[in-house]
Structure 1
Amino acid sequence: MKLLIILPAFNEAKVISQVLAEVKKATAKLPVPAEICVINDGSQDNTALV
């Protein structure tokens, strides 16, 4: 079994790194592997580059 976490993102370049770090920290404690999928919804900032 694997956990898939889907994070929608729109113009979140300023905070997405911190959000990903927090999600990774939380999922590291789980007994199953987790995959994080960020869905960039047409951001006009640098969200896609992060």
Structure 2
Amino acid sequence: MVALLLVLLLALILFGAGFALKALWWVAVIVLVIWALGFVFRGAESGNRWYRW
């Protein structure tokens, strides 16, 4: 019985981690698109960047 509960707990943890990683991938894609749009609209050759790095 304990082994079954451990397997179920492991499955829940892996499912939760998979969902969190997928959500983080979507956030990364959205940030990349916003960065690319800002780069294009400000101009690549412009020395005035829209972010401060």
TM-score norm. by structure 1 comes to 0.36
- Kindly indicate whether structure 1 or structure 2 has the higher relative contact order, using CA contacts under 8 Å at least 6 residues apart: 1
Structure with greater strand share of residues: 1
Q: Which has the larger radius of gyration?
A: 2
TM-score, structure 2 normalization: 0.34
| Between structures 1 and 2, the one with greater helix share | 2
